[in-house]
Chain A
Amino acid sequence: AQKVTQAQTEISVVEKEDVTLDCVYETRDTTYYLFWYKQPPSGELVFLIRRNSFDEQNEISGRYSWNFQKSTSSFNFTITASQVVDSAVYFCALSLIYNQGGKLIFGQGTELSVKP
């Protein structure tokens, strides 16, 4: 069975601070995807990034960066110079590759509040 854990329920920072959201996953499968989704107060789920289990290369996209480490089963998400618009619930998720219609298994989510 697969499991995703986001130990940080809520994080509060002041604008321009850097913040890291932790994600730890469990799976016995060797081929899987990891995702991050953002859920702003308006409620929609917005796709941010997908990584494959066979590609541990870290990724940077503007103020966002992701650190994937198979050795620690972690896929952490860092926001640099946070902004008020980053306030949202962030979900880490896992799914299996080569699994038609395979479900996403979500973590519990981390609610990020960025104060001006």
Chain B
Amino acid sequence: AAGVIQSPRHLIKEKRETATLKCYPIPRHDTVYWYQQGPGQDPQFLISFYEKMQSDKGSIPDRFSAQQFSDYHSELNMSSLELGDSALYFCASSLEYRGGRDTDTQYFGPGTRLTVL
């Protein structure tokens, strides 16, 4: 079965540079989520989109922005990168609840490991 695709898988940037992470959800999934996981920590929610509209927002820095496009893929844009932004960034997708057994379950991509030097 098709899974969530994230690109790139690894990214190395210098401080103050910008980065763009891409996420392609599972086909037919209409909701995309972004999470940040620091070393030894649990994933922290950043932001989500349902049907291309921002749905929920967590502790996402103002330097970060994201959007979901008409084909449902999503991009996370990160500017003025700081050393503390080094982390594993996950994208997840789900199908919004419509009474089905498998709806509302978030399936995660393999993650993008961002290193800021």
Please tell me if the beta carbons of B108 and A47 are within 8 angstroms of each other in the complex: yes
- Residues of chain A lying within 8 A (CB to CB) of residue B55: 100-102
Q: Which of A16-24, A63-71, A80-88, A103-111 contacts B (4 or more CB under 8 A)?
A: A103-111
Q: Is A98 an interface residue (CB 8 A)?
A: yes
A35 touches B105 (CB 8 A): yes
A101 to B106, CA, bound (A): 10
Instruction: Flag if A103 contacts B42 (CB, 8 Å).
Output: no
Tell me whether A97 and B104 are in contact (CB under 8 A).
yes
Closest CB of chain B to A66's CB: distance in Å? Answer: 15
Interface of B is mostly: strand
Size of the chain A interface, CB-CB below 8 angstroms: 24
Minimum CB distance partner of B35 in chain A:
A104
- How many interface residues does B have (CB within 8 Å)? 28
Looking at A33, A98, A103, the one whose CB has the most chain B CB atoms below 10 A away is A103
- Which residue of B has the minimal Cβ distance to A96? B104
Q: How far is the CA of A46 from the CA of B43 in the complex (A)?
A: 13
Q: Decide: A102 and B42 in contact? CB cutoff 8 A.
A: no
Number of A-B residue pairs, CB cutoff 8 Å, is 68
* Interfacial chain B residues near A91, Cβ < 8 Å: 42-43
Q: Cβ of B5 < 8 Å from any Cβ of A? A: no
A109 to B43, CA, bound (A): 10
Question: Judging by beta carbons under 8 Å apart, are A47 and B106 in contact?
Answer: yes
Tell me, rounded to whole Å, the shortest Cβ–Cβ distance linking B104 to chain A: 6
Return chain B residues, CB-CB under 8 Å to A47.
Answer: 105-108
Q: Is the CB of A106 within 8 A of B43?
A: yes
B33-51 at interface with A (beta carbon < 8 Å): 33, 35, 41-45, 48-50
Q: Considering the chains assembled together, what is the distance between the CA atoms of A108 and B113 in angstroms? A: 20
Whether the Cβ atoms of B42 and A109 lie closer than 8 Å is yes
Q: What residues on B are CB-neighbors of A35 within 8 Å? A: 105-106
Distance in angstroms from A81 CB to nearest chain B CB is 27
Binding site for B on A (CB under 8 A): 33, 35, 37, 43-47, 50, 91, 95, 97-109
